[in-house]
Amino acid sequence: MSLKGDVCVVTGACGFLGNRLVKLLLDEEKLAEIRLLDKNMQPQLLQSLEDCRGDTKLSVYEGEIRDGDFVRRACRGASIVFHMASIIDVNEAVEHSEIYGVNVKGTQLLLEACLQENVVSFIYTSSIEVMGPNPRGEPIVNGTEDTVYDSTLKFTYSKTKREAEERSLQAHGEVLQNGGRLATCALRPMYIYGEGCRFLLGHMGDGIRNGDVLLRMSRPEALVNPVYVGNVAAAHLQAARSLKNPQKRNVIGGKFYFITDDTPPVSYSDFNHVVMSPLGFSIREKLPLPLSLLHVVCFLLETLCLMLRPFVRIVPPLNRQLLTMLNTPFSFSSEKAQRDLGYVPRYSWEEAKRRTVEWLASKLPAERERIRYK
């Protein structure tokens, strides 16, 4: 079902995924208006969107998602909200109050604004990390939405994303001001890669500093299934179309869906090598220390940083939960999203890899120069 004539809000519109979704909406839908909500708008991004907007009105809402009046204004007259804005933090570098304020309270304010302003559809961008892995590193291979797993979480990021997802799904069916009802769903993409991925740039920078040898922090057997950003954007569009369809609305409303594509299962470290080997990077064969010893080192670093916390805040480069995440087989299937949402990946693995490698190649000279003079 088409979104023609709809007014939609995209939170985190200038982010990695948000930007890709906005461009997809402009390419494929004749929307009346797209409202770009972000804390920091980027003039070059806005100009690139203006060049391809056609008859769709683009409106800029620059401000804080924790500002209730602001998000209510952004939602006034809208019919769909794509909620992508969040703080991503796997190093525990962000204060709990900050990440909770954005990820949980910001989501709650947005849901309340939807009820007050009669927004009928709400799609929440969740994360695979709301599932785990748990601190024991128990694996999941080709899991589904029905997989039973002890998803005890340690990351503040993971816990806040899970609470925000729960609040989003619980809001399904709540009564709007005009007597209608809100429909919600959540998408759980795997690790998202592609053009604009800051994590890939960070790993490339580490490789450059190490003489074009990528660091290995994942065992080869710790298979995960990364997903290309263009396919994740397509899944969001398909979710919005499905929520607009009266026959599908109650089928998918209040549910979450894993989003994957045909990117081959691979460990996090080996994935970095796959997309950077064409640029001349190799990778270490083994972890810097046995995994059990790395856990001990992380424990000691965490303990030291905790003791110093009253005097100075130091964030260790690696912690036990991140180490567990990087070394736990954790893969899922998107069959349910394909069945219920009609989600079909737009980009094959070969196309996604080609686009990602070309983007990294375009960034490599500047990255070398930056590191050389840092």
Of 84, 59, 72, the residue nearest 7 (C-alpha)? 59
Q: Which residue has the tokens 């480069």?
A: 317
Residues taking part in catalysis: 157
Residues 6+ apart with CB under 8 A from 163: 103, 104
Residue 355 neighbours by CB distance under 10 Å: 16
CA distance 188 to 366: 33
Q: Are 364 and 204 in contact (CB under 8 A)?
A: yes
Q: Which residue has the tokens 């954005």?
A: 102
Quick one: tokens of 359? 């983007």
DSSP H or E stretch at residue 120:
none
DSSP symbol at 332? E
Residues 6+ apart with CB under 8 A from 318: 217, 294, 298, 301
Quick one: tokens of 230? 């263009």
**Please, where are the H alpha helices in 3-118?**
16-28, 43-50, 68-75, 96-100, 106-116
